[in-house]
Structure 1
């Protein structure tokens, strides 16, 4: 597997996505923050600062997820529909390199978006004179780092679905993964509450298969300026990287078996 070829695919994919006006997301986020800073003081009292911090982090996560899902599902599917994949495959490039390069390219775009939105976020909080809890800034930065890992999982899932189905269906399936991944622990609890062995087995199975995205959601901790233990943070980071690797391996396996 050639690192240079993967880097070239990633760089080309990065430029292609940037040209798709995805940077308008940053402008939209700035508008959201301006509206939040204008309205929240009027509807909240003692919790105003916490709500502003939480809403900003939530908006970064939601907008990043939308880009990961809607752009990610079309990365390979678009090449297949336009038949440009027929030009790429005969070249000295493996299908694995194509998948990994596309993933890295979109993840690079998402890192730029998260960094830009984070800059606007912090400037907005400083301008609004929001009172931070001690340790809030490091906690927020760590939560944004783990959000980036979550977005990497979503891109990998979008690629895995996009290599064998239509863009629309892949988008719906990836969005389902996003929602269920954030509520997978609640599904397990619902299974226990049901007192039904079959339902418990089913919810446990879903929990093992679906990504537990709540492990990477540190937003509530960041609002109060706290962080989980270092061992837990490392374990969650490894979990995210392993899950990305598994999803990319599945995408490569499916894509390698497709005939064009």
Structure 2
């Protein structure tokens, strides 16, 4: 495996996505936050601080997920649909180098996206003179980045063997179920339905538990989760992302082009 070839693929992805979408997304987030800063005092009363902090974290998460899914599902699928993949497979580059390069390039874009939105978020909170705890907010952004990397890996996986539209739907479904899986397991325990319990347990084991990476409420209330939990959940995200990339590599290498 050559780091030079991985870096070449990643650099190409980075330049392409940065040129097309990323700055528009950051600019859109800035407009949203500035508009919320101006409009919320008129409609929220004493709850302005809480609503603005909630809005900032929720909107950054949503925009990040949209970019990760729409860009990720097209990174490989576009190569397949336009037949440019034939040129790639004839070059001295392995499947794992190609997939890792694609994911690394998209991850770099997502890192800039999260950093830019976090800077804007903190700037608007400072303009609003809202008291906030910096460390929980930065941790929330870091775990948002880990979640987006995982979602990007899932979008690459679906993009390898399905159409763009179906890949987008599957990845969005994975994202939604991933945030609901823990709650579904608890609900199944309350219902005492064996079939439903078995189903939710299986889903919880197979699908990613994205609630582990959701620190938005902790950031809003200035709460720091236990250190050991942070390391375990970060490791969980990295292992799951690696597993998705391995699965993507296996499927891509076995496709007939």
- For normalisation by structure 2, the TM-score amounts to 0.98
Within 5 Å, which residues of 2 pair with 1:51-66?
Answer: 51-66=51-66
Q: 1:246 aligns with which of 208, 230, 243?
A: 243
Size of the alignment, in residue pairs? 257
Q: 2:225 aligns with which of 218, 225, 228?
A: 228
Q: How far off is 1:43 after superposition? A: 2.6
Within 5 Å, which residues of 2 pair with 1:1-260?
Answer: 1-132=1-132, 136-260=133-257
CA distance in 2, matches of 1:30, 1:67: 16
Q: How far off is 1:54 after superposition? A: 1.5
Q: How far off is 1:22 after superposition? A: 3.0
CA deviation vs aligned residue, 1:89-121 (integer Å, no higher than 9, x gap): 111100111111000101111111111111111
CA distance in 2, matches of 1:43, 1:210: 39
List alignment gaps of at least 5 residues for structure 1: none
SS in 2 for 1:252: helix
More helix by share: 2
CA deviation vs aligned residue, 1:216-242 (integer Å, no higher than 9, x gap): 000101111111100000000000000
List alignment gaps of at least 5 residues for structure 2: none
Q: How far off is 1:50 after superposition? A: 2.0
CA deviation vs aligned residue, 1:57-116 (integer Å, no higher than 9, x gap): 111111000000001000000000111111011111001111110001011111111111
Q: How far off is 1:254 after superposition? A: 0.6
**For structure 1, which segment, 240-249 or 21-30, has the greater mean C-alpha deviation from structure 2 after superposition?**
21-30
CA deviation vs aligned residue, 1:136-164 (integer Å, no higher than 9, x gap): 11100011000000000000000010000
Q: How far off is 1:194 after superposition? A: 2.2
| Pairwise CA RMSD | 1.0
CA distance in 2, matches of 1:122, 1:22: 19
CA deviation vs aligned residue, 1:196-215 (integer Å, no higher than 9, x gap): 10110000100111111110
CA distance in 2, matches of 1:204, 1:45: 43
